[in-house]
Chain A
Amino acid sequence: MERGRLIATMQEILGPQGVIHEREQLRTYECDGLMNYRVIPELVVLPESAEHVQKIVQTCYDEGIPFVARGSGTGLSGGALPVEAGVLIVLSRMHRILEVDLENQRIVVEPGVINIWVSQEVADEGYYYAPDPASQIVSSIGGNLAENSGGVHCLKYGFTTNHVMGAEVVLPDGSVVHIGGGKVPDAPGYELLGAFVGSEGTLGIATKITLRLVRKPESVRTVLAAFKDTQEAGGAVSGIIGAGIVPAAIEMMDALTIEAVETQVAPGFPEAGAILITELDGPEAEVASQFDKVIEVCEENDASEIRIAEDDEERALFWKGRKAAFGAMGSIANNYYVQDGVVPRTELGAVLKRISELSEDYGLRVANVFHAGDGNLHPLVLYDNDAPGEAEKAEKLAGDIVFVCLEHGGSLTGEHGIGEDKKKYMPKMFTDDDMNVMQLLRCAFDPHQICNPGKIFPTPRLCGERPGPFHMHPVQKAGLAENF
């Protein structure tokens, strides 16, 4: 389809306000939260309803035009990176909360709804939405679904995939399906919803999402403990988990991270080699007893200081410091590369030691902030873009760090996704057969590979379809045959 006609078609669907086609304006959308990849899309469209999305996708399908969905654009793996000659479908105008059903502990939202709005909507009723990525004040539920976002509280409560109960999805061929039971458990058939959540926008676009709401706990207690180094803090983590306690959250920051956070948001953290923030929640009697145990374990591991949050305000301050960690790196380095890897918890000590050795070898500082309970590391590689060759060196170091994670039985990514950024590493974790079988799923959802093409897999697999740009067969166009 010629560009002018595509713009006209989209304007017909969305009105002139819903289509962005001027180059300068398109630049706004050239990347997501991962800024080292940039592509200017052919067109940006801003649907306001599921019907809009359906018509946009139908047009793309009929014309063989690739498309990429985008929420708030906070993703850190380039999952919403546009494709050239493709349409970027920005879902931020679909931001209505459609239904609150407290009796069944469900809320139905559009994909552009911001994560934190969900908890705010039901807070007065004593409910909240559990997944809380650090980006939750800006990131959208649709984006969270695509990435299977985690957060600091997912050790006890699970990830986005455990809280999305149903979705209306526009498939890449423009058809609409409802997967997952929503308010009803155990929908008959394959667990399509479980496969869809976390598929990084490559299987379709969710236009309506049913989420599980969680009752606020009776009691919440939070303690911040300072340690000589990450090894000692790691010992405390093992002790807590080993005692049969499932904390709501257990987060660690190393000295460099503490320094950055202090410079930026000054939460008044103690000077230490490592800080551990542990939060317990649940029924009062249970929490009180286990909280004593947590403190005991911290003391046994030679904590130099233990601070118990006296009230919600102090608790919020602890978390403010933690959640500011990524952004705060800007105060101690010109540039930084955010890595996301996972290791089995018992390997944390060994892996941190390797990271520190690699940091010395490369001559680049690495700050560590991580979800200690589930072994999800976020090493931040600090560098200076103006120093020749340093950016490349930083990227290489970050790559070596995830390889260390893999060597220790971990994963390439715990919550940021593969996207554009890590697809080159996929063969380190998966065999060709593994990836080919995954792509069978892709072929069932998106046989023409027009939905967020080129992401996740280093070598896209053809689905028994003709290679090259898709052109619909005249017989099919005339409605005489199904997709073949």
Chain B
Amino acid sequence: MQTRRAPLDDLQEIVGTENVREATAEDAVDGVEPSLVVEPGSTEEISAVMKLARSEGLAVAPRGGGTKRTLGNPPRELDLVLSTVRLDEIIEHVPGDQIVRVQSGVKLETLQESLAEANQILALDPPEKGATVGGIVAANSSGPRRYKYGTVRDLIIGITVVLADGTVAKAGGKVVKNVAGYDLSKLFTGSLGTLGVIVDANFRLHPRPESARTVAVEVETPQAAREAAQAIVHSQVEATAIELHWSESAKLLSVLLESIPAGIEAKEEGASFLLKSFGEVRTLTDEETDNLGPLSPPGEEDEVALKVAAPPAELSAVLDSVLGAAERRSVRPRITGHAGTGVTYVGLSGGEDALVEVVEEVREIWVRRGGSVMVHDAPTSFKRKLDVWGAGGDYLGLTRRVKEKFDPGYTMNPGRFLGGI
């Protein structure tokens, strides 16, 4: 697609010469190359950049660590990448209040290291390395610990955003309990940069678990995987994560247990007891646990990665549907999943047309049953053949109305989101 030439001089005036540069192929989003990359250093600069972009009719993609550039549909157009790399300050961490306020460009690893000094964590553990807080919020990234702690929506307590017209707005606050005004921090969670630029976000924190063990059972069949996960879910063990790892070579259901030193052994015994009727149970060494990761999503080169969301008790049916659809087309899937929460990631390699058929078949099954099948990662050529999000529900019209109130000109990441938003 032909992109327009962005007004370099004006941008330089706003953010300084050194903070604007010509884009390279590295900056492309799903094959669409922007003209320029701008790195504003403050809320005011972002606001000025957005005002300029809007008046010049430039399409803008906010970017944090750039780890989710393949998430979503290819953008309809893209002129300017707005990088949050310079917004790298942890604004306020109050251990006694168990809250942190952080600029969107801070990398999660950096934040966790800092929080660890006070024996606290932000209970988010998405698998990708180098992701920023803002990117994690915008993509609603999650990991195994979501079973216990929930996802971004459950941990975010406040936000500051800049809309496409440059308006700066905040919602929520820095207290965990707060019902004043609409909860825009949740609305921006998972909005993939289509509603505005996230400048900073506030989170509730948790104490850092003192002890951890991972107990795992080898499962032979989808049914056994389901039953084993259900046994933990309905027990009083209070697991932190229940993960499935399913490939040709190994089929494992692992349970992450966290507690204080006085509590960990009882949890380990409890979980082992519950799992032993499904196969051989053992406690994994640290090395084995590390080797299980990254637990999700697979997403290797040229691989198509799907995220299947279904009721958690349907785990065996999810596996059956994926395995069946893949086998009929001689495709070998790699599967990992958050078995306790109903999220299953599937990695597929093979001919593109066969993979499209697999996705369509699995999607048809799970959309009919109230779930969703999203293409989480795929080559651009694959995305041209299939909408990555699927159709969306009866809320699509409302979704579009929300978009058009926040960004009537479709300045922000046009085309990447559900329904071509």
Kindly specify which of B26-34, B109-117, B162-170 makes contact with the partner chain: B162-170
Q: Tell yes or no: A475 within 8 A of B by CB.
A: no
Cβ–Cβ contact A182 & B370, under 8 A: yes
Known A-B contacts A178-B393, A283-B266, A438-B182; A186 and B307 likewise in contact (beta carbons under 8 Å): yes
Partner of B370, one of A184, A199, A442, A445: A184
Distance from A475 Cβ to chain B, minimum over Cβ atoms (Å)? 19
Partner of B94, one of A186, A344, A442: A344
Residue of A nearest to B340 (CB): A105
Residue of B nearest to A102 (CB): B234
Cβ–Cβ contact A445 & B398, under 8 A: yes
Cβ–Cβ contact B180 & A413, under 8 A: yes
In the complex, which residues of chain A have a beta carbon less than 8 angstroms from the beta carbon of B343? 185-186
Cβ–Cβ contact B174 & A188, under 8 A: no
In the complex, which residues of chain B have a beta carbon less than 8 angstroms from the beta carbon of A154? 177
| Residues 277 to 298 of chain B near chain A (Cβ within 8 Å) | none
Q: Tell yes or no: A244 within 8 A of B by CB.
A: yes
Q: Tell yes or no: B356 within 8 A of A by CB.
A: no
Known A-B contacts A162-B150, A342-B177, A376-B177; A286 and B398 likewise in contact (beta carbons under 8 Å): no
Kindly specify which of B49-57, B187-195, B245-253, B324-332 makes contact with the partner chain: B187-195
Q: Tell yes or no: A394 within 8 A of B by CB.
A: no
Partner of B267, one of A126, A283, A375: A283
Residue of B nearest to A197 (CB): B183
Cβ–Cβ contact A415 & B177, under 8 A: yes
Partner of B177, one of A178, A374, A422: A374
Cβ–Cβ contact B371 & A184, under 8 A: yes
In the complex, number of A-B residue pairs with CB atoms less than 8 Å apart: 273
Cβ–Cβ contact B178 & A342, under 8 A: yes
Partner of B183, one of A126, A161, A342, A434: A161
Cβ–Cβ contact A411 & B175, under 8 A: yes
In the complex, which residues of chain A have a beta carbon less than 8 angstroms from the beta carbon of B417? 189
Distance from B46 Cβ to chain A, minimum over Cβ atoms (Å)? 14
In the complex, which residues of chain A have a beta carbon less than 8 angstroms from the beta carbon of B396? 189
Known A-B contacts A189-B395, A215-B236; A162 and B98 likewise in contact (beta carbons under 8 Å): no
Kindly specify which of A255-263, A308-316, A425-433 makes contact with the partner chain: A425-433
CA distance A188 to B371 in the complex (A): 10
How many residues in B have their beta carbons less than 8 Å from beta carbons of A? 89
Q: Which of A148, A282, A434 has the most CB of B within 10 A?
A: A434
Distance from B61 Cβ to chain A, minimum over Cβ atoms (Å)? 18
Q: Tell yes or no: B1 within 8 A of A by CB.
A: no
Could you mark each residue 256-290 of chain A with 1 if its beta carbon is under 8 Å from any beta carbon of chain B, else 0? 00000000000000000000000000111110111
Could you mark each residue 79-99 of chain B with 1 if its beta carbon is under 8 Å from any beta carbon of chain A, else 0? 000000000000000111111
Q: Tell yes or no: A417 within 8 A of B by CB.
A: yes
Cβ–Cβ contact A345 & B154, under 8 A: no
CA distance A171 to B309 in the complex (A): 26
Cβ–Cβ contact B175 & A342, under 8 A: yes
Cβ–Cβ contact B206 & A411, under 8 A: no
Cβ–Cβ contact A241 & B98, under 8 A: yes
Cβ–Cβ contact B170 & A105, under 8 A: no
Known A-B contacts A184-B309, A215-B234, A438-B182; A375 and B177 likewise in contact (beta carbons under 8 Å): yes
Cβ–Cβ contact B309 & A185, under 8 A: yes
Cβ–Cβ contact A286 & B311, under 8 A: no
CA distance A353 to B10 in the complex (A): 52
Cβ–Cβ contact B97 & A286, under 8 A: no
In the complex, which residues of chain A have a beta carbon less than 8 angstroms from the beta carbon of B259? 283, 285-286
In the complex, which residues of chain A have a beta carbon less than 8 angstroms from the beta carbon of B170? 430-431, 434
Q: Tell yes or no: B263 within 8 A of A by CB.
A: yes
Could you mark each residue 93-114 of chain A with 1 if its beta carbon is under 8 Å from any beta carbon of chain B, else 0? 0000000011111000000000
Partner of B175, one of A241, A290, A343, A426: A343
Cβ–Cβ contact A411 & B178, under 8 A: yes
In the complex, which residues of chain A have a beta carbon less than 8 angstroms from the beta carbon of B187? 190-192, 194-195, 441
Partner of B171, one of A105, A186, A376, A438: A438
Cβ–Cβ contact A436 & B238, under 8 A: no
| Residues 366 to 421 of chain B near chain A (Cβ within 8 Å) | 370-372, 374, 389-390, 392-399, 401-406, 417-419
Cβ–Cβ contact A162 & B154, under 8 A: yes
Cβ–Cβ contact A186 & B309, under 8 A: yes
Q: Tell yes or no: A350 within 8 A of B by CB.
A: no
Q: Tell yes or no: A414 within 8 A of B by CB.
A: yes
The 8 closest A-B pairs by CB, nearest first: A194-B186, A286-B263, A244-B207, A289-B262, A437-B169, A103-B313, A285-B266, A218-B236
Q: B interface vs A, CB < 8 Å?
A: 94-99, 119, 140, 142, 150-151, 153-154, 161, 163, 167-171, 173-184, 186-187, 189-191, 195, 206-208, 210, 230, 233-238, 259-260, 262-263, 265-267, 270, 307, 309-313, 341-343, 370-372, 374, 389-390, 392-399, 401-406, 417-419
* A-B residue pairs in contact (CB < 8 Å), sample of 6: A178-B394, A187-B372, A189-B396, A191-B153, A244-B208, A345-B98
Q: A interface vs B, CB < 8 Å?
A: 101-105, 126, 147-148, 150, 154, 158-159, 161-162, 171, 175-179, 181-192, 194-195, 197-199, 215-218, 238, 241-242, 244-246, 282-286, 288-290, 342-346, 371, 374-376, 409-418, 422, 426, 429-431, 433-438, 440-445, 456, 463
